[in-house]
Chains A and B, each alone.
Chain A
Amino acid sequence: MALLKILNPYKWAQTVPSWSRVLNCGLWGGVLLFSFLVTSRVLAREPVVSSESELKTAFVFQFTKYVKWPESKGHDKRLVVAVAADDEMVDALSRLDGRTSQGRTIVVIPVDDASKLEDVDLLYLGKGYIADGDIIKKAIKYHILTISDENDAIQKGIIIGLYMADSRLRFNINLRIATKSELNLSSRLLKLAGSLIK
């Protein structure tokens, strides 16, 4: 404890006045150094991704490991992930591009309408992007794993719905739609789900 007392800046002020000034100015300088680091570096832009969308991306990546697509879907080397969401989520998911899951290389494509879904394996729909039932019907038809962070996503026919609870990201599963889409979800996934629609 006696050793820690050396840290007391108010003591420095009494004994070694010059130190306290150095400390004050040094600390102030530190703040400014970093604030100006900001302004100078703002110009060099990087994709903007917040930690919540990164967390969702990590979940999506894990989900691809626990799903078996039907034989009829055909098993090519590519695992096509289609995204209809806000830019931030598109950016985050785009960073999965080129990674491998179950021996297949992930290809991320942004989509704006339901017409080009035939080759898609996984469809991520952001908040406000479940416009109508049409996209859901198409997804079932083409055996697509649908994931969304919309409120009550699974009630709207999405297979995996992401939501925040207890400051953590959780997910629900609509097993009825998964079965309809002929997708086989592993039991581990079902065990971890917050709730299931059977």
Chain B
Amino acid sequence: MIERKKSNIKRGKGLLMKPRTFFLPLSFLFRILFTVVVLLLPVEGHSLALASELEGLLSMGLEDLMDVEVTTAFKKPQSIKDIPAAVYVITSEDIRRSGADSIPEILRMVPGVNVAKIDNGNWAVSIRGFNGLFSDKLLVLMDGRVLYDPLFSGVFWDAQDTVLEDIERIEVIRGPGASSWGTNAVNGVINIITKNSGDTLGVMVSGSAGTLDRGTLSARYGFKIGDMGATRFYAKTYKRHQQLQKDGSTAWDDWFMDRAGFRSDLQLGKKNEASLKGEIYTGRGTNKMLGFNKAFTKRIVIKNNVPISGGFIVGDIRHEFKRGLDLSIKFYYDHTERKYSSLTSETRDTLDFEFQNRYCNGSYLDFLWGGIYRHTRDHIPISHGAVFGAFYPKRRKDDLFSFFFQNEAKFFSQRLRFLTGVRLDHYNYSGLEVQPTFRILYSLGNNQDLWAAVSKAVRSPSRYNRDAVWVLGIHPDPATKTPMIASYVGNEDFESEKLWAYELGYRWRIDRTLTIDVTGFANFYRNLFSGSVGKPFLHHGFMIMPINPGNYGRGESFGLEFTGNVKPFEWWRMELSYSYLDTHFWIDSAHRQGTEMSAKYMDAPHHQVSVRSNMDLTTKLELDVQLRYVANLSRLDVPSYTGLDMRLGYRPNRDIELSLDAKNLLDPYHPEFRDKFLNLINTEVPRSVSAKVTWHF
């Protein structure tokens, strides 16, 4: 640590990283200056607000109006065409027609998102690179509850599920969203939003079974509470078969999960809205990983049981003081437990309080600010399994205090929009993180929009980065014949990984049948997770070679994302997308002996191409096809593959739906990812078929 500080001073670098001491006062001066200048500006709001977006809407036909999408990418409902960011919305109709049976599988349809299956429960999901078992630069939320876990910095996708029919929409923001959504929204945000219980009245039962799906059963019952609102209760259970492998063996990755929950939405008078959600879940997964024998003399494949359970309760209330001025208050409590029988276990409790205040005057101004307090405590006992992993201290309590504000200013008949925002996150272990964004959108007319953005985002240190002691490998010493154990030893002083991102986007809605969306970006990373070998020492008869984590990794990535929507006929819709990604990692020149860790176990394909087609063959028969090409992962040695999924749906009436899904039709098996972090033995994804029935009554 001391060495690093010294070298920083010597080279006179790190002005963005270190200079809190001397750049803060300077920017403070600027703030004072701007305050004075701006307050002296005459108040001339009316000349800025000429007309409004209503003019645009009134000139649209009924069919066009029905295509106007409303999203909450910046924490408030907005039409998607007005957003200066790369936003994609998956609707409940898209989910129904995807034939997907898990949340990561639904995400496969989103352009620019890389989804790879590791085994039945584990997925690697990322946006704009850095894909891994734990994609640490992607924030995922469900109804405002953060699913991102600070243990390894990432989402445990195996625990995340719900009745898929009850998902209202999934909003995917590519690029930094940290100014609105907070730390860890570095390369993207995925926001899963469930339906209001008023929209899920009555009974719905759905069941499916197939070659991988050993049986999934979802049931929901929704009812009204007088005139005040509605409530639904739901339950879901599923079992997954072990995936059959090329050599005829089974993959030891069967999985089951049960969950039950409720959601209540109430309208209390004309000015108050409230909702309450709760759920409990329990399940058990299995997987295989590469571990060590008891004497640490050789590597062996070990079988893991992974029991997981948990529950949460989320409540929010919104009060409207007057037109355009409202206040939302939200809280949630989340408890989760998981155990890898031969690795480690985690118990985590999270308590969160948030408030948000919005003022908009509809024509040129839309101001939003709020605060968050989040407390999380965990317990990670020392593992005595076949992979040695421990966290010191075993228990931790961490607090986050957060403040954000953002403003959208609109000029020239709303043709020009500025969205500026900043979020200040204060963690007790990494200090203050300032994450601003500057976005601009200009309407070129003829339904063409051009937008650009500059943003900063950080990834906060994980528990693993700070506190873990982890056996990575064994290197036999030829001279003494004692095995040398390479062990990762966490670093209390690990700092946040930082990103400055530039984005440029163009959207053209040529007409109802043809739209295109192009986004380009340049990302510059600093302080990336790196490791360097420390001095070996003798411990209990073992020669330990410590690997110390640091922030010496540097990175750059450049990319291009294209999406085109074609609707040649009323009954046929097609979506084409292509995404290109180019990433580079290196170690800061002052620390040549280190290795870049992101490059070691994280990778994402250079090219991804996808064609999605939804056809209504008759009013009752639907045919959906999704073709995906995913280029190879050179760092993880995974070959490229082409996947073809098909779905045939039959709806004899509005209440009953029968469907037949086939996945990966083009090849019997293909690997999609190789995990080098926990050393899970990845299973090859086989061809699979399943049938599903959904019944509303």
A contact set with B: CB distance below 8 Å: 1, 4-5, 7-11, 13-14, 17, 20-21, 24-38, 40-52, 54-55, 57-59, 61-62, 66, 86-88, 91-92, 95, 99, 127-128, 151, 164-170, 188-189, 192, 195
Contacts and interface: CB of A to CB of B under 8 A. Distances in A.
Interface in B396-444: 405, 407, 409, 418, 420-422, 436, 438
Given A25-B26, A31-B421, A35-B405, A169 B65 contact: yes
A54 B53 contact: yes
Given A21-B23, A37-B38, A170 B66 contact: yes
Contacts of A44: 43-46
B480 interface: no
A54 B57 contact: yes
B58 A61 contact: yes
Interface of B: 11-17, 19, 23, 26-27, 29-31, 33-35, 38-39, 41, 43-46, 48-49, 52-54, 57-58, 60-63, 65-71, 77-79, 82, 89, 91-93, 168-169, 198-199, 267, 270, 322-324, 359-365, 367, 405, 407, 409, 418, 420-422, 436, 438, 454, 500, 502, 522, 524, 526, 554, 556, 558, 582, 654
Contacts of B91: 166-168
Given A1-B582, A166-B169, 14 more contacts: A8-B500, A13-B17, A31-B420, A31-B422, A34-B407, A48-B362, A51-B79, A51-B82, A58-B57, A66-B62, A127-B270, A168-B67, A169-B66, A170-B66
B502 A50 contact: no
A21 B30 CA distance: 11
B30 A50 contact: no
A45 B77 CA distance: 21
A165 B500 contact: no
A38 B364 contact: no
A1 to B, nearest CB: 5
Contact of B363 (A30, A46, A164, A189): A46
Contacts of B48: 41
B66 A41 contact: no
* Residue from A42, A57, A62 having most chain B Cβ neighbours under 10 A: A62
Contact of A165 (B41, B67, B199, B267): B199
Q: By DSSP majority rule, is chain A's interface helix, strand, loop, or mixed?
A: helix
A130 to B, nearest CB: 10
Nearest to B369: A35
B53 A51 contact: yes
A34 B364 CA distance: 12
Contacts of A36: 34-35, 38-39
Nearest to B229: A151
B88 to A, nearest CB: 12
A52 B23 CA distance: 43
A47 B323 CA distance: 9
Contact of A46 (B45, B92, B93): B45
B62 A192 contact: yes
Q: Which 10 A-B pairs have the closest CB atoms?
A: A44-B45, A48-B324, A49-B362, A58-B57, A36-B38, A166-B91, A48-B323, A13-B15, A8-B524, A41-B45
A51 B80 CA distance: 11
B280 to A, nearest CB: 29
A126 to B, nearest CB: 9
A40 B367 CA distance: 12
B65 A58 contact: yes
A78 B468 CA distance: 76
Contacts, number: 214
A62 B359 contact: no
Contacts of A54: 52-54, 57, 362
Contact of B68 (A57, A165, A169): A169
Contact of B362 (A50, A151, A192): A50
B323 A91 contact: yes
B169 A27 contact: no
B500 A128 contact: no
A62 B45 CA distance: 31
B169 A167 contact: yes
Contacts of A55: 57, 65, 68, 70, 79
Contacts of A28: 27, 30-31, 436
A58 B54 contact: yes
Given A44-B45, A167-B89, A32 B34 contact: yes
Contacts of A14: 11, 13
B66 A168 contact: yes
A10 B34 contact: no
Nearest to A4: B522
A87 B364 CA distance: 19
A101 to B, nearest CB: 10
B637 to A, nearest CB: 25
A7 B524 contact: yes
A54 B77 CA distance: 12
Given A38-B407, A167-B89, A32 B524 contact: no
B26 A62 contact: no
A91 B169 CA distance: 29
Contact of A9 (B409, B422, B500, B582): B500
Contacts of B46: 44, 46
B500 A10 contact: yes
A10 B27 contact: no
B433 to A, nearest CB: 14
Contact of A13 (B14, B53, B79): B14
Contacts of B11: 14
Contacts of B405: 35
Contacts of A9: 16, 500, 524
Contacts of A49: 52, 54, 324, 362-363
Given A40-B43, A49-B52, A87-B323, A168 B367 contact: no
Contacts of A32: 30-31, 34-35, 38
B33 A167 contact: no
Contact of B45 (A33, A43, A88): A43
A66 B23 CA distance: 62
A152 B154 CA distance: 41
